[in-house]
Chain A
Amino acid sequence: MSEPVVQVEQLSRRFGKRWALARVDLTLYAGERLLIMGQNGSGKTTFLRILATLTQPTLGTVRLFGADPVRDPWSARARLALLSHQPSVYEDLSARDNLRILARLRGIPDQTASWLERVGLEDRPEPVHTYSAGMRKRLSFARVLAQEPQLVMIDEPYGQLDPGGFALVDGLIREISERGATVILASHLVERASRLTERALLLHRGQPRWTGEASRAPLAWQTLHEEAR
């Protein structure tokens, strides 16, 4: 079998006196789609940021594409994309300018027009600070399309979206996955996100509570809430 894209063991991160993440194990192979479910503050974002090399683990090991990103984050960074709560763009520039800069930094051909069309932002020459939250989300997805990463992590794909945006996001995630990328979604909209994924991991207060097939994720989610009650 080929090498896993993501392999973490006993991954833990402490902020001050609180363990934001405790003893998470995970192995993902190329092309797999994983849902991480958890409430706000359950450690989803910390987990994704560690996988994106932006935060360092306190304990445990991470391997991305077979290498240790704590020692050398650079090679992993070129192959992954993180879609976080922020769009990672310049507010004073337009969507087009932002994508063009990204393409030139990554050294890939500039297909700005097609990326923008794909997310429905083709007629938006204004600076990003005039965009609505939903438009920013679309721009974030256009950035992921432009980067053509092998590992894509999406934190709250449905956050701040209008209802029309939900179907668009579903389509974009499918498209990214069909291109062969390994996809990790972190969301508390379990019902919807589980339809896009194969496997699921449930985090509660930084701890893994359940892992299994995505089709059973809504049940696990419900069970956790019943237990909490």
Chain B
Amino acid sequence: MTHFFVLLQKDLLVGWRGRSRLVGLVTYGTSLLLLFSFALGADSAVLREHAAAYLWVALLSASTLLLAQSFQHETEAGALEGLLLVPVSPMALYYAKATANLVLLLFLAVALFPLTAVLFDLQGGISPLRLAAVVTLGSAGLVGPGTLYAALTARLASKQVMLPVLLFPLVIPPVVASVKGTQLALTGDPMGQLVSWLSLLLIFDLLYWSLGGILLGKVLDE
């Protein structure tokens, strides 16, 4: 447990010291949001209706870069081997890394949301609490399997392609649930459907955060 907190602190410190990269990711997300508007045309009604979808595609896309970076720190100077020799258990390593990635992805979401609201002209009636719940559970759904796959692809020559190729089909459930949930949190939830989407996210998160903790050790062995 001590290891978990030290590692989490370490990952957040690395994130903070390399904050220029985070700024880069926010900029990347921003350009994606702008691109969606241009790709679809300046029909503000259409854009508003699909704002949640654009936000999540931007987050998903930026998350693969974030995830890849999180393991690049570990492999570029052999830090991961140093950790294994401490020794740190792969489980502590996974949970610390996944939690740190969740925090960083949430930071990205918080940075991109106001932009989404402005660009796509979101109207009032937004429920911040519901939105926070959807964004947190949805982001956890992306980083849960994403952290494991980032570790798995970190040492491959074709890692830039392999990470999204493996991750994207897998995270369709959290993306679907997050988009629907975000829409409901933005425009109101008269039918009370939000709870079902949140529970789908919760099930997915529990499943993959458990699998990740068990399986990371199998990926680090040689």
Contact = CB atoms under 8 A, between A and B. Distances in A.
B87 to A, nearest CB: 4
Interface in B72-104: 73, 76-79, 81-88
B14 interface: yes
B24 to A, nearest CB: 14
Contacts of B17: 92-93, 127
Nearest to B7: A105
Given A90-B10, A92-B14, A105-B3, A54 B86 contact: no
A124 B36 CA distance: 46
Interface string A34-54: 000000000000000000111
Contacts of A128: 77
A105 B6 contact: yes
A81 B85 contact: yes
Nearest to B10: A101
B88 A88 contact: no
Interface stretch (A25-33, A71-79, A198-206): A71-79
A56 B78 CA distance: 18
Given A92-B14, A107-B2, A52 B85 contact: yes
B77 A86 contact: yes
A104 interface: yes
Interface in B2-20: 2-3, 6-7, 10, 13-14, 17-18
Contacts of B86: 77-78, 102, 105-106
A93 B17 CA distance: 7
Contacts of A86: 77-78, 81
B43 interface: no
A127 B76 CA distance: 14
Nearest to A80: B85
A90 B85 contact: no
A84 interface: yes
B219 to A, nearest CB: 15
Given A86-B78, A88-B78, A105 B83 contact: yes
A89 B14 contact: no
Given A55-B222, A92-B14, A101-B10, A77 B78 contact: no
Contact of A54 (B76, B77, B79, B84): B84
Interface string A182-205: 000000000000000000000000
Contacts of A80: 85
A87 interface: yes
A85 B77 CA distance: 9
A88 B73 contact: no
Interface of B: 2-3, 6-7, 10, 13-14, 17-18, 73, 76-79, 81-88, 222
Given A87-B77, A90-B73, 8 more contacts: A53-B85, A74-B87, A86-B81, A93-B13, A102-B86, A105-B83, A107-B2, A143-B82
Instruction: Identify the 10 closest CB pairs spanning chains A and B, nearest first.
Output: A88-B82, A86-B78, A77-B87, A88-B78, A92-B17, A92-B18, A104-B6, A105-B86, A101-B10, A77-B85
